[in-house]
Structure 1
Amino acid sequence: MSWSAAIKRFSLLKGCRTVVLLNRSWRQLSSQTRAEKRQLIREQIRKELGQGYVAELKEFRANGAKRSEAPTTICEQKDGLQFPAFDCITLSQRRVSLPQDFMDRTTLVLLSMRGVGLTMCDTYRQSFVSEFQDPNLHLFSLEICLVDNWFFRLIRNTLESRLREKLKPSTRHDQFVCQLTNARTIRSSLSIHNSLIGYAFLVDHSGLVRWSAHGKPTETELKSMNFCTSKLIGEVESTHKH
């Protein structure tokens, strides 16, 4: 090989190596850029969640996150709120389809997202169970634990197992669901303004929310809930007569 040919070959090899190094550097830069973008998105999500939780905690400490007293009677059917549609499975593995399973009966729906809210919901439940013990009444109750945390979705089986151990009596398992999907949609549809408290909804025989309450219930609110339940039972019985 002549000297000039050797120099030419060396130049070509050097050029190829330069291109390879440039491509490698570009890929590293692109990878770093993607990683930085992902990190920025994570930080933004944490910031939004943190701000939301801080605001909820502040409201809870100030007034128990109770923005108003529950109404003393049911709203007109034309003013009722359509309960969001979704399928779920109870802790006893029974499938529930909403709002189809509300049809032809009166239903008390209790919704919580945290332990303190679950305790509040149990106060509503106990009053409801104590007041309406006749098995011939067209009544149904459903407790929903709405999970909006991605971590708990990963340990669903463990979460449900602990709930089975905690919830007494065990007959509650057939009326308790742990809902891990569509949390934002459900929360928005039902105006869940604070995740720390419990919510109670009376749903009529056509799937419409006709009465609701939130936070720690007062004695007056529990009496209103039972009174409104009786009125909705009357609507169901009237429907069956016709």
Structure 2
Amino acid sequence: MRPTRISSLFPRRADAFKLCRLCQHRAIRTSARLLAAPSPQTPAKSSPAPVGQSPASYKAPTKNDGFSLETLGRPIGFHRPPLPGKNSGEDTRSLKERRDDFVDWGNHLQRRKELTKAVSKPYFRDFTNVQYERGKSFLANPRVFRADRALFFPNFVGTTLADLSKPADTTLVLLNRISLVSVYSSDWALKQVQTWTSEKQNPDLCRILQGSRGIAQPVEVNIETNRLKYFILSLFKGRLRNERAQEDWDKYFFVRKGITDEIRENVGIMNAKVGYVFLVDGACRIRWAGSGDAQEEEKHFLNKGLKTLISETAGSAKTNPKAQAA
């Protein structure tokens, strides 16, 4: 084996000079690219802080961090009509069916997937969404959806102001009537719903409902999944009855169970802290929907849509009186 010379481990003087010339060419090319690149723009001046507020605590107004409301452009709801007793939240299976479901591996995987989805849902998602437009999810559609395109409103099971001791289904109340359905679950959401339906905020709507008794009706769905809050809410039934006509007591629902993520996603009530308003026809189809605080133009859309549905019902009653009698 030939011994390695120590001089071979270091570059010769000529090679060192060649490397230096190469580095010089690279430096020249890099400098040329930097000179040709556009100069960075100077940042825009931030808007001055309001009078009485320190600049450190002031945040310049933004456009909702990219969030923008869009008009509800397609029908929402379910493709199948609702059935009384469905979405009750009660397990009506027999002991044998429960045992088979427990030992079935496919059902176990499906149940585990549902639990994983429920756990992974951020608890404060509904609270953080309120910072944009006070939780408003979408803008109301200017016109009602066509009857042949509209989808169905789900069935809710709860108790009513008329009788808190036995369960009642919303589907049986909605059939054969034009219903203004309000869905909320807190005082915040109730105040939002009142911007659409109260006599002070929308007197024209109240006049339309009052003049169309027997054809149109108000329906309220108060969702409270917490058992303790549900019990406290039932203690105020006397005050709630005094605020409503006696004929509307069976149209005020307390709902605690059966509100699944599937229902929320299909009906559009994704934010549990916000109020929603729906126009539902006599076949339980959602013909119009609104969310959050009502804008003046949206209240006009609601009133116009209610008149349209009342006219449709009156017209169908004239052409088919047997169906109206049924």
Fold conserved between structures, TM > 0.5: yes
2:155 counterpart (76, 79, 85):
85
Change beyond 3 A, Cα 1:199–1:164: farther
Could you tell me how far apart the structure 1 residues matched to 2:271 and 2:130 are?
A: 8
CA contact (8 A) 2:182 2:219 kept: yes
Q: How far does residue 225 in structure 1 lie from its aligned partner after superposition? A: 0.5
Could you tell me how far apart the structure 2 residues matched to 1:67 and 1:199 are?
A: 9
Same amino acid, percent of matched pairs: 20
Could you tell me how far apart the structure 1 residues matched to 2:149 and 2:274 are?
A: 25
TM-score normalised by length of structure 1? 0.70
Please state whether the residue corresponding to 1:177 is helix, strand or coil. strand
2:294 counterpart (217, 222, 229):
217
CA contact (8 A) 2:178 2:217 kept: yes
Q: How far does residue 228 in structure 1 lie from its aligned partner after superposition? A: 0.1
Which letter does structure 2 place at the counterpart of 1:84? P
Which residue number corresponds to residue 197 of structure 2? Answer: 125
Structure 1 regions of 5+ residues with no counterpart? 1-43
Change beyond 3 A, Cα 1:165–1:186: farther
Could you tell me how far apart the structure 2 residues matched to 1:71 and 1:115 are?
A: 25
Determine if the alignment matches structure 1 residue 113 to structure 2 residue 190.
no
Q: How far does residue 137 in structure 1 lie from its aligned partner after superposition? A: 5.0
Larger radius of gyration: 2
Could you tell me how far apart the structure 2 residues matched to 1:192 and 1:65 are?
A: 11
Change beyond 3 A, Cα 1:121–1:183: same
Q: How far does residue 203 in structure 1 lie from its aligned partner after superposition? A: 0.2
Which residue number corresponds to residue 18 of structure 1? Answer: none
Could you tell me how far apart the structure 1 residues matched to 2:230 and 2:210 are?
A: 33
Equivalences for residues 53-72 of structure 1 within 5 A: 54-72=124-142
Could you tell me how far apart the structure 1 residues matched to 2:175 and 2:118 are?
A: 40
Which residue number corresponds to residue 201 of structure 1? Answer: 278
Change beyond 3 A, Cα 1:168–1:219: farther
Which letter does structure 2 place at the counterpart of 1:115? D
Equivalences for residues 26-37 of structure 1 within 5 A: none
Please state whether the residue corresponding to 1:225 is helix, strand or coil. helix
Which letter does structure 1 place at the counterpart of 2:234? E
Please state whether the residue corresponding to 1:206 is helix, strand or coil. coil
Determine if the alignment matches structure 1 residue 176 to structure 2 residue 252.
yes
- Greater shift in the superposed pair: 105-114 or 178-187: 178-187
RMSD: 2.6
Structure 2 regions of 5+ residues with no counterpart? 1-115, 320-326
Residues 17-45 of structure 1 deviation map (CA, whole Å, 9 limit, x = unaligned) = xxxxxxxxxxxxxxxxxxxxxxxxxxx89
Could you tell me how far apart the structure 1 residues matched to 2:225 and 2:120 are?
A: 14
Could you tell me how far apart the structure 1 residues matched to 2:219 and 2:268 are?
A: 18
- Size of the aligned set, in residue pairs, is 194
Determine if the alignment matches structure 1 residue 161 to structure 2 residue 235.
yes
Q: How far does residue 102 in structure 1 lie from its aligned partner after superposition? A: 1.9
Please state whether the residue corresponding to 1:240 is helix, strand or coil. helix
Change beyond 3 A, Cα 1:204–1:46: closer
Change beyond 3 A, Cα 1:156–1:194: closer
Change beyond 3 A, Cα 1:205–1:170: closer
1:74 counterpart (138, 144, 149):
144
Residues 193-221 of structure 1 deviation map (CA, whole Å, 9 limit, x = unaligned) = 11111000000111100000001111111
Which letter does structure 2 place at the counterpart of 1:220? E
CA contact (8 A) 2:156 2:255 kept: no
Larger proportion of strand? 1
Q: How far does residue 160 in structure 1 lie from its aligned partner after superposition? A: 1.3
Which residue number corresponds to residue 140 of structure 1? Answer: 217
Which residue number corresponds to residue 8 of structure 2? Answer: none
CA contact (8 A) 1:137 1:233 kept: no
Larger proportion of helix? 1
